Amino acid sequence: MFRPQIKVLDCTVRDGGLINNWQFSDDFVRKVFLALARSGVDYMEIGYKSSEKYFSRKDNGAWKFCTEEDLKRIIGDTGAKMKLSAMADIGRIDQEDIPLKKDSVLDMIRVACYVKEVDKGIRLAHQCIDKGYEATINLMAVSKVLERDLDEALDDLSKSQVETVYIVDSFGAMYSEQIHFLAKKYREALPGKELGIHAHNNQQLAFANTIEAIIAGANRIDATLYGMGRGAGNCPLELLLSFLKNPKFDIRPIFEVIQDLFIPLKTEVEWGYHIPYMITGVLNEHPRSGMKAMAEKNLPDLRKFYEGLLDDEPLE
Amino acid sequence: MFRPQIKVLDCTVRDGGLINNWQFSDDFVRKVFLALARSGVDYMEIGYKSSEKYFSRKDNGAWKFCTEEDLKRIIGDTGAKMKLSAMADIGRIDQEDIPLKKDSVLDMIRVACYVKEVDKGIRLAHQCIDKGYEATINLMAVSKVLERDLDEALDDLSKSQVETVYIVDSFGAMYSEQIHFLAKKYREALPGKELGIHAHNNQQLAFANTIEAIIAGANRIDATLYGMGRGAGNCPLELLLSFLKNPKFDIRPIFEVIQDLFIPLKTEVEWGYHIPYMITGVLNEHPRSGMKAMAEKNLPDLRKFYEGLLDDEPLE
């Protein structure tokens, strides 16, 4: 698949940091940055933009905050041309905590929001656009959203200045048919805007669903190194770059950084396909109960875990 | 997806045995058998039918041979209605080593062959049919086969009495588009026959490609418990059964046996997604070099491993 419009965003440090509270050393993040820049990836999402009014540096590493000082420690004078992105969650950042683009090394702010708070999301995205950034809206957990509510949110987005809207399969619950259905719906509702995809791997479908979204027209594609990300993780960048035939990409720096950093890290920090995550994905549930199960010293009884989430009591 | 014609075959012991030379205890195989029978799976492929003229019991467990004596130790008087299958490889079994169906607890022989030996495969399958078995042909490694050669093999198969033909992605090299292309080709070339799918997980696409084949009309579906299988493994049965909506399936015994046997086994025996297998899959190569890399004490340099397989020297 070679479509020159396709842009790849690596969110390893941002999404992977959800596992270890962003406790990555500067050296680690710098190596990731350099490997991604060498591989031709378009954007690196280096963390969250969060307010220190709401979160402390005692509990969270630098990539929960992404101040200019944090960022400059990594970027330095590498001269890399890759763009930088940070994610902002509604209610976890105030607009005055985001500097003007001219005072920042960040190029893009991605606003993550639920469908019910899309108007807050659009407001924050507009504020970012006014400050000079590219801005996107990542509509989370849409596998749980009633179609009427989703249509209303897409209608609001269609009237906004936000240029890119992502399908986010937060629960790793979707099959290719749902991706196809949503991609068609988003494209029809959002003429002139770019479509993005952010997939989770609970059912080993993150890469496949990403391909499906690409076939259905998505041009803004999320992935992470070795699939690192909360719970079952994300679409692995190494698989995505192998699939995309764009000659601007070079996968070899990706193999190097996976071997140097991520294969060792996976023996210390847990992510990937495990039955508790598979069960929350299959049942279209938030992965939090799966993460709780995986964090226990002994894995709980899987049959009972499944039955407990089935929620199949009669309720007329 | 509920299509009553869909039949699921679990080949955990047969394909998983390629990792450990079928060194499974009788107790292990019996627990797998009972869990599969309870879950409603249609067929269990319990091993290979191979000749003791060519292979020794010293080097291989019972499930390399599947004599009636071996099988009866497992089945006993359980009264389970699940059908039993064994695989036969061309050149590793002589037809006189296969008893008449009336003297066997096996229901089906699946003949695995390369496209270049399809006529030997058809002959062996016909011999099995004449003895009273169901028989299938599993055309291996078709991702390497020139279309003209494949068309010729399909033409031979169309004239045979073999009722089921499988697409086998031996190298885990295919994307959904290739699955779709082959499924269409097989169905058009083989009117009146059933189509099957056997996928490998080198690119985390085994389950997704299985879904794609089902959408494209495949009714005979291979999977393994927890994805166990040679190299990157296979389509996980637990994911497949969750996708299929046929009420005859019950996933709960599957969770039990995965927890009791396969999560512990995975700490001893290695299978699943690893970069060396990903690389052979992406490059459409036999997984043997990946297995060699994984068997080394220290993982070889992945960038060099990739470059070594690229085989991109000019060769006019």
| pLDDT tens profile A115-138 | 999 999 999 999 999 999 999 999
User: In this complex, do A243 and B207 lie within 8 Å of one another by their Cβ atoms?
Assistant: no
Residue A7: strand pairing partners: A220
Residues 6+ apart with CB under 8 A from B147: none
Q: Which residues of chain B have pLDDT under 50?
A: none
What's the CA gap between B96 and A32, in Å, rounded?
Answer: 60
Residue B50: predicted pLDDT: 95
- DSSP letter for each residue of chain A: ---TT-EEEE-HHHHHHHHHTT---HHHHHHHHHHHHHHT-SEEEEEE---TTTS-TTTS-GGGT--HHHHHHHHTT-----EEEEEEETTS--GGGS--GGG-S--EEEEEEEGGGHHHHHHHHHHHHHHT-EEEEEEETGGGS-HHHHHHHHHHHHTSS--EEEEE-TTS---HHHHHHHHHHHHHHSTTSEEEEE-B-TTS-HHHHHHHHHHTT--EEEEBGGG-SSTT-B-BHHHHHHH---TT---HHHHHHIIIIIHHHTTTS--S--HHHHHHHHTT--THHHHHHHHSSSPPPHHHHHHHHH------
Residue B239 distance to chain A (closest CA, Å): 7
Angle at CA of residue A263, ends A260 and A269, nearest 5°: 120
Residue A285: predicted pLDDT: 96
Residue B48: strand pairing partners: B87
Q: Which residues of chain B have a CB within 8 Å of the CB of A285?
A: none
Give contacts of B 208-247 with A, CB under 8 A: 208-209, 211-212, 215, 226, 236, 238-239, 242-243
Residue A141: predicted pLDDT: 94
Interface test mutation site (partner B, options A302, A304, A312, max chain B beta carbons within 10 A): A302
User: In this complex, do B255 and A212 lie within 8 Å of one another by their Cβ atoms?
Assistant: no
Residue A1: predicted pLDDT: 75
What's the CA gap between B199 and B216, in Å, rounded?
Answer: 15
- Given a contact cutoff of 8 angstroms between Cβ atoms, the answer to whether A46 and A29 are in contact is yes
User: In this complex, do A206 and B203 lie within 8 Å of one another by their Cβ atoms?
Assistant: no
- B255 vs A236, A239, A306: nearest CB: A306
Q: Which residues of chain A have a CB within 8 Å of the CB of B204?
A: 201, 204, 206-208, 236, 239
Residue A80: predicted pLDDT: 84
Average pLDDT over residues A259-265: 98
Tell me, yes or no, if A42 comes closer than 8 A to chain B by beta carbon: no
Residue B122: predicted pLDDT: 98
| Burial environment of residue A209 by CB neighbours within 10 A (0 to 12, 13 to 18, 19 or more) | buried
Tell me, yes or no, if B309 comes closer than 8 A to chain A by beta carbon: no
Residue A271: predicted pLDDT: 96
- B205 vs A208, A282, A301: nearest CB: A208
What's the CA gap between A186 and A180, in Å, rounded?
Answer: 10
What's the CA gap between B226 and B17, in Å, rounded?
Answer: 14
Residue A132 distance to chain B (closest CA, Å): 39
Residue A253 distance to chain B (closest CA, Å): 8
Q: Which residues of chain A have a CB within 8 Å of the CB of B259?
A: 275, 299, 301-303
Tell me, yes or no, if B160 comes closer than 8 A to chain A by beta carbon: no
Q: Which residues of chain B have a CB within 8 Å of the CB of A212?
A: 176
Residue B80: predicted pLDDT: 84
- Which of B133, B136, B142 lies closest to B167 in space, CA to CA? B142
Residue A77: predicted pLDDT: 78
Q: Which residues of chain B have a CB within 8 Å of the CB of A176?
A: 176, 208, 211-212
User: In this complex, do B303 and A259 lie within 8 Å of one another by their Cβ atoms?
Assistant: yes
Q: Which residues of chain A have a CB within 8 Å of the CB of B175?
A: 211, 243
What's the CA gap between A22 and B113, in Å, rounded?
Answer: 50
Provide the residue ranges of all domains of chain B, joining segments of one domain with +: 7-266, 275-310
- Can you read off the two tokens belonging to residue B231? 């190299």
User: In this complex, do B211 and A299 lie within 8 Å of one another by their Cβ atoms?
Assistant: no
Residue A211: predicted pLDDT: 98
Tell me, yes or no, if A302 comes closer than 8 A to chain B by beta carbon: yes
- A203 vs B239, B273, B306: nearest CB: B239
CATH domain B7-266 topology? TIM Barrel (3.20.20)
- Which of B88, B91, B246 lies closest to B162 in space, CA to CA? B88
Residue A307: predicted pLDDT: 95
- Which of B26, B25, B21 lies closest to B73 in space, CA to CA? B26
- A204 vs B175, B207, B258: nearest CB: B207
Split at pLDDT 50, 70, 90, the class of A28 is very high
Residue B269 distance to chain A (closest CA, Å): 16
- A236 vs B204, B236, B239: nearest CB: B204
- Can you read off the two tokens belonging to residue B182? 């082959």
- Given a contact cutoff of 8 angstroms between Cβ atoms, the answer to whether A19 and A287 are in contact is no
Q: Which residue of B has its CA nearest to A250?
A: B303
Split at pLDDT 50, 70, 90, the class of A290 is very high
Residues 6+ apart with CB under 8 A from A200: A169, A170, A171, A172, A206, A229, A231, A232, A233, A234, A281, A287
Residue A265 distance to chain B (closest CA, Å): 14
Residue B77: predicted pLDDT: 78
- Given a contact cutoff of 8 angstroms between Cβ atoms, the answer to whether B232 and B202 are in contact is yes
- Which of B22, B12, B91, B88 lies closest to B59 in space, CA to CA? B22
- The pLDDT mean for chain A works out to 96
- Given a contact cutoff of 8 angstroms between Cβ atoms, the answer to whether A150 and A123 are in contact is no
Q: Which CATH architecture has domain A7-265?
A: Alpha-Beta Barrel (3.20)
Q: Which residue of A has its CA nearest to B212?
A: A176
Tell me, yes or no, if A54 comes closer than 8 A to chain B by beta carbon: no
- Can you read off the two tokens belonging to residue A151? 């249509």
Split at pLDDT 50, 70, 90, the class of A313 is confident
User: In this complex, do B259 and A301 lie within 8 Å of one another by their Cβ atoms?
Assistant: yes
Angle between helix axes A176-189 and A206-215 (nearest 10 degrees) is 40
Interface test mutation site (partner B, options A205, A212, A258, A261, max chain B beta carbons within 10 A): A205
Tell me, yes or no, if A11 comes closer than 8 A to chain B by beta carbon: no
Tell me, yes or no, if A309 comes closer than 8 A to chain B by beta carbon: no
